[in-house]
Amino acid sequence: MNRLRKGVCFMGQSNSDRLLRIRELLFAETDEDHALSIKGIQQALEAAFVNETFDRRTIRSDIEALSRNGFDIIKNEEKYGAHVYSHQNRLFEVYQLRLMIDAILSAKFITTNEKDRLVKNIKQLTSKHVAKKLPETMTFSQSTSVDYELVKLNIDRIHEAISSNRVIRYKYGRYNVDKQFAYRRDGEYYYVEPYALIWQNDYYYLIGKFQETGELRHYRLDRMRHIQLIDKLFTKDDFSLQTYVNKSFHMYGGEDIHVKVRFVNDLINVVLDRFGMDANIETDGPDHFILRTRAKQSAGLVHWLLTWGSQAKVLSPKSLVEEVTEKVSGMFDLYND
């Protein structure tokens, strides 16, 4: 015989079960635009715990207990003096959830199935009503699932190495025209002191010191294989991550040079977006401005400059002028053949 008494339940739920269920209801069903009354909470509890009854005074006490213990609950008065309750103080604002979902959906190396799981998890950080307004998973161009599984494991390994100042070793390569992964340096290991792991141009990059030459270099994480932490510690040199990234166009490496480029005024926002508001810029007549900066002379820099066609002209150094001129001549010959 199931014995029921007002305010006390003797079947499958305890006080803890009831408290947790009320917390779940307020978290999932309420927000700034949606609230629950005591009656609504009571009905939801009785639907969840079949054949049990709940006293409204007990529910009010539970709400007060949750509030006293740090679960933020807003109490508002509606028509005729009725009170409704809502949980509004979320860990993330809605726009922050959108930023996270957009970043996940645009990441080429994450598989569609993993995107589904990640987006569903993020949506659980807010109410059901807000979750419905957030972006759905869509398919973008992406890497192979094998690449993603490797990246997923390697992220943790590299972060561990960075935090513990341990040297790592790995093999490095890329796909060839036969779609086969080919190792560089005949498959020899790279020994690197890891400084930072960054997300840039839709890929993860490791930035670190290549021990063989003492140079700071960067490596695409999806092209690294057999990553191992070795029992060797290192001390980081002074290093500015932002400076390094700003000089590495499209994450190409190369020799540091002083660059001087003349742009048409229409490109001022492009340049400021790329170099920031502290960029060294001066006007050059009514229609142009000149940028002076340090960058790595590389294919990435040349490609970026050629993006703007006749709207950008390299003035110095001579080596970069010659490299851009050679590329332009090659393109002319290609299309004039």
Give the pLDDT score at 291: 95
- On the question of a cis peptide bond just before residue 194, with omega within 30 degrees of 0, the verdict is no
DSSP 133-180: TSPPP-------HHHHHHHHHHHHHHHHHHHHTEEEEEEEEEE-TTS-
Judgement on whether residues 117 and 203 belong to the same structural domain of the protein: no
Residues in the chain: 337
Confidence band, pLDDT 50/70/90 cuts, at residue 138: low
Mean pLDDT of the 273-281 span: 87
Give the pLDDT score at 135: 81
Comparing C-alpha atoms, which of 238, 261, 259 is closest to residue 247? Answer: 259
DSSP 263-283: EEGGGHHHHHHHH-TT-EEEE
Give the pLDDT score at 2: 35
Q: Which of 239, 266, 293 is the last residue of a domain?
A: 239
Judgement on whether residues 161 and 229 belong to the same structural domain of the protein: yes
Confidence band, pLDDT 50/70/90 cuts, at residue 327: very high
Give the pLDDT score at 8: 40
Residue 10: inside a domain, yes or no? no
Judgement on whether residues 167 and 105 belong to the same structural domain of the protein: no
Judgement on whether residues 285 and 312 belong to the same structural domain of the protein: yes
Residue 279: inside a domain, yes or no? yes
- Side chain identity at 56, as an amino acid letter? R
pLDDT exceeds 90 at position 320: yes
Judgement on whether residues 79 and 108 belong to the same structural domain of the protein: no
Give the pLDDT score at 143: 53
> Which of 97-111, 138-152, 180-194 holds the top average pLDDT?
180-194
Domain with residue 63: its CATH number is 1.10.10.10
Q: How many domains does the chain have?
A: 4
Confidence band, pLDDT 50/70/90 cuts, at residue 144: low
Pairing of strands 190-200, 166-175: antiparallel
Give the pLDDT score at 133: 87
Residue 166: inside a domain, yes or no? yes
Judgement on whether residues 75 and 161 belong to the same structural domain of the protein: no
Interatomic CA distance for residues 200 and 221, integer angstroms: 11
pTM of the model: 0.62
Judgement on whether residues 232 and 255 belong to the same structural domain of the protein: no
Judgement on whether residues 232 and 272 belong to the same structural domain of the protein: no
Helix (H) / strand (E) element for 308: namely none
Domain with residue 233: its CATH number is 2.30.30
Contact between residue 112 and residue 148 where contact means Cβ atoms under 8 Å apart: no
Interatomic CA distance for residues 140 and 324, integer angstroms: 33
**pLDDT tens-digit readout, 229-258:** 999 999 999 988 888 888 887 677 788 899
Judgement on whether residues 75 and 107 belong to the same structural domain of the protein: no
Q: Pick 144 or 303 by higher pLDDT.
A: 303
Give the pLDDT score at 145: 54
Q: Phi and psi for 231 in degrees, rounded to 5?
A: -85, 65
Judgement on whether residues 250 and 232 belong to the same structural domain of the protein: no
The domain in which residue 22 lies consists of 15-86
Residue 235: inside a domain, yes or no? yes
Judgement on whether residues 149 and 235 belong to the same structural domain of the protein: yes
Residue 4: inside a domain, yes or no? no
Residue 1: inside a domain, yes or no? no
Q: Hey, which residues does 202 pair with through a beta bridge?
A: none
Judgement on whether residues 69 and 122 belong to the same structural domain of the protein: no
Residue 3: inside a domain, yes or no? no
Chain mean pLDDT for the chain = 87
Residue 7: inside a domain, yes or no? no
**pLDDT tens-digit readout, 70-99:** 999 999 988 777 899 999 999 999 989 988
Contact between residue 264 and residue 311 where contact means Cβ atoms under 8 Å apart: yes
**Of the listed ranges 18-32, 183-197, 239-253, 266-280, the one predicted with least confidence:** 239-253
Confidence band, pLDDT 50/70/90 cuts, at residue 289: very high
Q: Which of 189, 211, 239 is the last residue of a domain?
A: 239
